[in-house]
Structure 1
Amino acid sequence: MATHNDLGRRGEALAKAHLEASGYEIMDENWTFGKAEVDLIAYKDRNIIFVEVKARSGTGFGQPEDFVDARKQRLLVEAADEYIYLMNHQGEVRFDIISVLFDRNNNYKLKHIEDAFWPSAI
Structure 2
Amino acid sequence: MAAKDELGRAGEERAAQYLTRHGYTVLDRNWRCSQGEIDIVAARGGHLSVIEVKTRRSEAFGHPLEAIDDRKRRRLWGLAFAWKAEHPDLAHGLALRLEAIGIIGTDPAVGSLEHLVDVS
TM range (shorter): 0.7 to 0.9
Distance between the aligned counterparts of 2:68 and 2:33, measured in 1? Answer: 17
State the partner residue of 1:38. 38
Distance between the aligned counterparts of 2:46 and 2:87, measured in 1? Answer: 13
Contact 1:34-1:79 at 8 Å conserved across structures: no
- The answer to whether residue 26 in structure 2 is matched with residue 23 in structure 1 is no
Distance between the aligned counterparts of 1:3 and 1:83, measured in 2? Answer: 29
Is there any run of 5+ residues in structure 1 with no aligned partner, and where?
A: 118-122
State the partner residue of 2:102. 99
Q: Percent identity?
A: 30
Is there any run of 5+ residues in structure 2 with no aligned partner, and where?
A: none
Aligned pair count reads 115
State the partner residue of 2:60. 60
Distance between the aligned counterparts of 2:62 and 2:14, measured in 1? Answer: 20
CA displacement 1:65-105 (0-9 Å, x = unmatched): 0111222212111111112223333321111000000048x
Distance between the aligned counterparts of 1:86 and 1:60, measured in 2? Answer: 38
State the partner residue of 1:113. 116
Q: How does 1:66-81 map to 2 (within 5 A)?
A: 66-81=66-81
Distance between the aligned counterparts of 1:107 and 1:80, measured in 2? Answer: 29
State the partner residue of 1:120. none
Aligned partner letter, 2:28? D
State the partner residue of 1:50. 50
Contact 1:97-1:114 at 8 Å conserved across structures: yes
Secondary structure at 2:9 match in 1: helix
TM-score (norm 2): 0.87
Deviation of 1:32 (Å): 1.3
Aligned partner letter, 1:24? Y
Distance between the aligned counterparts of 1:13 and 1:91, measured in 2? Answer: 24
